[in-house]
Amino acid sequence: MDDADALGPPAKMRERRGELTPMLSQYLDLCERYPDSLVLFQVGDFYETFCEAAEVTARLLEITLTKREDSTGRYPMAGIPVDSAESYIETLLDAGYRVAVADQVQEPSETTGVVDRAVTRIVTPGTLTEDAFLDDDNVFVAALADGDDHGAERGLAVLDVSTGDFYATGGEAGAVADEIQRFAPAEAVIAPGLSADAFDGGTMVTPFRPDAFDPERAGGKVADYFGDPDTVLGSTAEVRACGALLAYAEYTRAGEADRLDYLNHLTRYDPREYLLLDATALRSLELFERRALGGEASATLFDTVNETASALGARRLTDWLRRPLLDEGEIAARHDAVGELVSDVVTRESLHDDLRDVYDVERLVSRVSRGRANARDLRSLKSTLDVVPRLREALSDADSDRLRDLRERLDPCEDVRARIGSALVAEPPIELTEGGLIDEGYDADLDDLRATEREGKAWIDDLEADERERTGIDSLKVGVNQVHGYYIEVTNPNLDAVPDDYQRRQTLKNSERFVTPELKEREEEIVTAEERADDLEYALFTDLRDEVAAETERIQAVADALAALDALQSLATVAAERDYTRPELGADGFHIEGGRHPVVERTQPNFVPNPTDLDRGTVAVITGPNMAGKSTYMRQVALIQVLVQAGSFVPAEAASLPVVDRVFTRVGASDDIAGGRSTFMVEMTELATILRAASEESLVLLDEVGRGTSTTDGLALARATVEHVHDVVGATTLFATHHHELTATADRLDRARNLHFAADGTGEAVDFTHRLREGPAGASYGVEVARSAGVPDPVVSRAHELLDREGAAATPDEPAVAANGGVDEAVFDRLRRTDIANTTPLEALDLLAELKAATDE
């Protein structure tokens, strides 16, 4: 928040409440009613702000700060034009404000006093519906609540007001925090007493009436929209969150009918139904956001597999990547559909072409339902429905269950389509009150009015010729202007010939303008017919819009099917064009032939495919020089896994994979400077999460764990981590490290493997092959990488000299950190297997004796 003083009633006005002019006292009232929002107050063609709010808006929007002066005092004032308000409002949102737009809701001509004003909408970052603010992506607002007992149980509700997408989920606080990250809401309301910690800096946490979270009240709200809360939701925490979120969404629609009629569908899910990707994983795998490490902006996974043709499809594909599936049947159903479209080029391409004509129906229909849609919106809806029969035709021979099911669900809504088609002209204007919307033949009364208008105009068109003949004045002209309407113009030399029934209207320098009683009558007829036609058109249009609004659920169902079809089409297009293969599911390990990194292969023309062959529970220790490709490889495996479970084919020659419950990553350095934590602290926090939460069903990527501290500590931690993951956690793990000593640890453990990236050290230059091999890496090429990076020769030579001197110390096959000081491996193992927490003092003494005996031998 830039400056909280800009909110609420200005002190200066409050002090003089009794004396203020009626207009300013209206402003003061509105500021009091909307104390959390910056009030934009319409005065004619401007939205004005006053006092502190004016100072803040003038600064943020770079507009002039002026003053309003009256008998009660001088008030700073700053205003923005109503016509270009949206871009200014956007800047205010970016600065962290909510904006309450107070419009004049009465014509100034209707009153002798001050015009009525009311807040007609509250614009907040998470509840945007105006096209001007939106791109294709979802914009979410969330609500977080706890249960009756205020324990660790949390409920989360997430809503996109512009599309009507509504999700609810719940669970213990940590799991729900992960779900929040998946949706990355722009805004959130939270129950009284809860901390906002689960939200990061990208979410504006907004205060809201605590009573909206009251279980009874919230339950009532949920019932109002979706039926019995106990049936549709999982816990009181979820009910509180959903109810409060609905109340908040209604609150921001001030002025419009309270209820959001297009919210018909609630998706309630359990986080355990989807592959869990926490914030760290989403970030480090760059699913949606670029990290631009080292200034090099790379594409995201989403960019790479997004070949959707519509906004609906793009949002659906985002959701599939954000919440990959766990259910093998569901995954296979998507794979079947993708497979069919991969092999059927004709269908795939015709789907892609047709889907390009699909508009953002979810948003269209929500605008229709809110009474905000114009005639163009309805035409766009019709164009979209026009596509549906073509899509059904393209899918007529579909085999896979999913495609057949989608075909079934593609209801062309023939009645709606025909109705819009017959009512509206092909290219209606945006304005709704100035006519030109409704087509001929739709309404008899309208056609009559238009006929009157046409006849009147035809009569006038003929008038010039008729009057020239009657008067004999060849230069006589008939014209029209805004102020005086139709007139007959006669130049001064001909004034003598003017007949008696001409009435003078206007005198110009060289001519006079006249009207005749008949011309006035005709004109009156035309104007009346025009006005009545405009009003009638508006009425017919709103009736049509209401009729379409009554079909909201049907149209939403079509939108849902279109979205899924487009997402499948996208996956199939990518698979076909980039040579992806269908993965086999249900394997007891990760077996990939010729795997590729889906994003890097797009920018590296000579990308080297690499295999993966890891039984479940294997810990692979991956060594190799800097720049050899370790990080790329590890991410490649994880991305392939995410793609599989999202329903996609994968960049590989062949793949046979299990379904994993969660992908964990501890990759690269991510300083949390804003959070005040050092790189090492962040690294350890992430590591702690993984070691606590990973299961045998998880896939874990650990990249250079322990790098952020001293070598000894780092190595000790890395080693302890490998052992713990191997012995206790049991997750399949890829562990990249520069500590060659770790390769010895891997040699000792049953399910650990050494893999490495070799580099050909030809002479003193390094040639990266990017090829993964069995066993530990032979040497570190760090010094050569330093040379190719431009480190001066003397430093490089000296480093070589030092390396030579240290010799064997750096060889990788040496056992790990002589930490056991020569103690027999069996003793070491015995210690490792000991669970101290479950060892009695007596047992401990026995153990000590046993170990002592072993070392004495």
Ligand X SMILES: Nc1ncnc2c1ncn2[C@@H]1O[C@H](COP(=O)(O)OP(=O)(O)OP(=O)(O)O)[C@@H](O)[C@H]1O
Question: Least distance to ligand X from the beta carbon of 601, Å?
Answer: 8
Closest CB to ligand X among 133 and 607? 607
Burial class (CB in 10 A: 0-12, 13-18, 19+), 447: middle
Residue 25 interacting with ligand X (CB under 6 A)? no
Between 293 and 451, CB nearer to ligand X: 293
Token code pair at residue 38: 């910056």
- Pairing state between β 99-104 and 117-123: antiparallel
Window 758 to 797, contacts with ligand X (CB under 6 A): 770
**Which lies closer to ligand X via its Cβ, residue 155 or residue 624?**
624
624 belongs to an annotated ligand binding site: yes
Burial class of residue 680 in the structure, from the number of CB atoms within 10 Å of its CB (0-12 exposed, 13-18 middle, 19+ buried) = middle
3-class SS at 72?
coil
Alpha carbon distances (Å) from 835 to 440, 555, 832, 840: 86, 61, 8, 10
Length of the chain: 857
Residue 243 touching ligand X (CB under 6 A): no
The answer for 790, left when phi > 0, alpha when psi is -120 to 50, beta otherwise, is left
With CA atoms as reference, report the closest residue to 79 among 104, 100, 97, 54.
54
Q: Is 625 annotated as a binding residue?
A: yes
| Stretch touching ligand X by CB under 6 A, among 517-525, 538-546, 598-606, 840-848 | 598-606
- CA–CA gap between residue 311 and residue 131 (Å, rounded): 13
Cα–Cα distances (Å) from 682 to 202, 288, 413, 690, in that order, read: 19, 21, 54, 12
Q: Give whichever of 138 and 737 is closer to ligand X, judged by the CB atom.
A: 737
Report whether 626 belongs to an annotated binding site.
yes
Is residue 628 part of an annotated ligand binding site? yes
Q: Residue 817 carries which DSSP code? A: G
Least distance from C-beta 597 to ligand X, angstroms? 7
| Residue 600 binds ligand X (CB under 6 A) | yes
Least distance in angstroms from the C-beta of 314 to ligand X: 27
Number of residues that bind ligand X (CB under 6 A): 15
Locate 17 and state its tokens.
């409440």
* Helices marked H in 289-435: 301-305, 311-322, 328-343, 345-355, 361-369, 375-394, 401-409, 414-423
CA–CA dist 676, 336 (Å, integer)? 48
Whole-angstrom distance, CA of residue 408 vs CA of residue 565: 12
Residue 412 is labelled as binding a ligand: no
Q: How far is the CB of 136 from ligand X (least distance, A)?
A: 29
Q: Using CB under 6 A, which of the segments 23-31, 168-176, 600-608, 679-687 binds ligand X?
A: 600-608
**Shortest gap between Cβ of 629 and ligand X (angstroms)?**
3
Closest CB to ligand X: residue number: 629
Nearer to ligand X, 52 or 686 (CB): 686
Closer residue to ligand X (CB): 367 or 630: 630
630 is in an annotated binding site: yes
Binding part of the chain for ligand X, among 214-222, 602-610, 707-715, 829-837 by CB under 6 A, reads 602-610
CB of 46 to ligand X, least distance (A): 54
**Smallest Cα–Cα separation from 456: which of 535, 525, 502?**
525
Q: Which is nearer to ligand X, 605 or 792 (CB)?
A: 605
Q: Is 46 in the site for ligand X (CB under 6 A)?
A: no
Q: Quick one: angle between helices 236-252 and 215-226, nearest 10?
A: 70
Instruction: By CB under 6 A, tell whether 317 contacts ligand X.
Output: no
- Does 740 participate in binding ligand X (rule CB under 6 A)? no
Task: With beta carbons less than 8 A apart as the criterion, state whether 49 and 79 touch.
Answer: yes
Closest distance to ligand X from the beta carbon of 791 (Å): 15
Which SS3 state, helix, strand or coil, does residue 611 take? strand
For ligand X, the closer of residues 435 and 629 by Cβ is 629
Are the C-beta atoms of residues 727 and 832 closer than 8 Å to each other?
yes
What's the min distance (Å) between Cβ of 603 and ligand X? 7
**Least distance (Å) between residue 7 CB and ligand X:** 48
Which window, 487-495, 580-588, 604-612, 844-852, contacts ligand X (CB under 6 A)? Answer: 604-612
Nearer to ligand X, 105 or 293 (CB): 293
Distance between CA 106 and CA 725 in Å, rounded? 70
Shorter beta-carbon distance to ligand X: residue 562 or 627: 627
Report the b/e string of 156-182 with b at 16+ CB within 10 A.
bbbbbbbbbbbbbbbbebebbbbbbbb
If the CB atoms of residues 176 and 627 are measured against ligand X, the closer one turns out to be 627
Closest distance of CB 625 from ligand X, Å: 7
> Is 763 annotated for ligand binding?
no
Residues of span 605-664 touching ligand X by CB under 6 A: 606-608, 610, 624, 626-632
* Phi and psi, residue 751, nearest 5°: -100, 20
Task: Kindly state the smallest distance separating residue 374's Cβ from ligand X, in Å.
Answer: 49
Detail the residues annotated as belonging to a binding site: 624-631
Name the site residues for ligand X (rule: CB under 6 A). 600, 604, 606-608, 610, 624, 626-632, 770
- Residue list for the binding site for ATP: 624-631
